[in-house]
Amino acid sequence: MQVERLEEPAGKAVPETAQRAVPRHVAVIMDGNGRWAAARRLPRLAGHRAGAQAVRRCIQAAIQNKVGWLTLYAFSSENWRRPAEEVTDLTGLLRHYLRHELAELHREGVRLRVIGERERFDRDMCREFERAERITAGNTRLNLMVALSYGGRSDILRATVAIAEAVRDGRLDPAQLDEQQFGRFLYTDGIPDPDLMVRTSGEFRLSNFLLWQAAYAELVFLDVLWPDFGPTHFAEALDTYARRERRFGARPG
């Protein structure tokens, strides 16, 4: 695969592990399942299945690196427009994953949450989401958010409508509204903003993922198709993050 190589600025060594900056929250755009399958002349479903294995590796890597919050973009609002067969395959895979991986996630101390328009999935699937969230609610080792039928613009729009309704009903004074309070109307209420956003497959886009929340996230684009993602890629993203100087709009000190 030919992709543009982005060189990180040289000179700043990765600090020793003891003082190295580890992102509190990593968000991942898992891209490249289709191309992985096409390269092997396999159906796209095979790519998504291999992608589900990479999800396991990514969760393990997050735990091992003591990342407390991990958000995975598993199904975007736009993914509903894919051919019906692929939508059925993807939702079937998610359902299978929730049913069969829940015990293991729970054992590992993972708290699972679904963000997005969950009501667009069928009732049976919504029950699986609620069950997974209920069973894992007390876990603290890793907070895992799975973005399903998620779109950043619709997240912001939905929050805006809820705020307009609260103002109309006299529950909210617009003069009191600030960024922190706006954030409480988003799907990610209670979840810290991502520090690091990773996208695989050599594409350089945000694809409508966490648009509000990623305002100051460091972006890392990896030259690997998602089904091939593993602990070394996770470590590479963390190393790149550790080399970056985060200023949040302030002048260098």
Least distance to ligand FPP, CB of residue 51, Å: 3
Separation of first and last alpha carbons in the chain: 40
**Starting from the edge strand earliest in sequence, which strands make up the sheet with 196-199, in order?**
110-115, 142-150, 69-76, 25-29, 196-199, 218-221
Among 23, 32, 151, 202, binds ligand FPP (CB under 6 A): 32
Least distance to ligand FPP, CB of residue 49, Å: 8
Burial of 39-75, coded b for 16+ CB within 10 Å and e otherwise, reads eeeeebbbbbbbbbebbebbbebbbeeebbbbbbbbb
Helix, strand, coil percentages, rounded to 5, for the chain: 45, 15, 40
- 44 labelled as ligand-binding? yes
State yes or no: residue 93 binds ligand FPP (CB under 6 A). yes
Least distance to ligand FPP, CB of residue 116, Å: 12
Among 26, 27, 52, 191, binds ligand FPP (CB under 6 A): 52
Q: Which are the catalytic amino acids?
A: 31, 79
State yes or no: residue 89 binds ligand FPP (CB under 6 A). no
Nearer to ligand FPP by C-beta: 26 or 52? 52
How far apart are alpha carbons 145 and 148 in whole angstroms? 9
How far apart are alpha carbons 63 and 111 in whole angstroms? 12
Among 28, 144, 146, 210, binds ligand FPP (CB under 6 A): 146
Paired strand residues for 146:
72, 114
State yes or no: residue 208 binds ligand FPP (CB under 6 A). no
Going by their DSSP bridges, the two strands 110-115 and 142-150 should be labelled as parallel
State yes or no: residue 221 binds ligand FPP (CB under 6 A). no
Which spans of this chain sit near ligand FPP (rule: CB under 6 A)?
30-35, 48, 51-52, 55, 72, 74, 79, 93-94, 97, 146, 226
Annotated binding site for substrate, which residues? Answer: 32-36, 44, 48, 76-78, 80, 82, 199, 205-207
Annotated binding site, which residues? Answer: 31-36, 44, 48, 76-78, 80, 82, 199, 205-207, 218
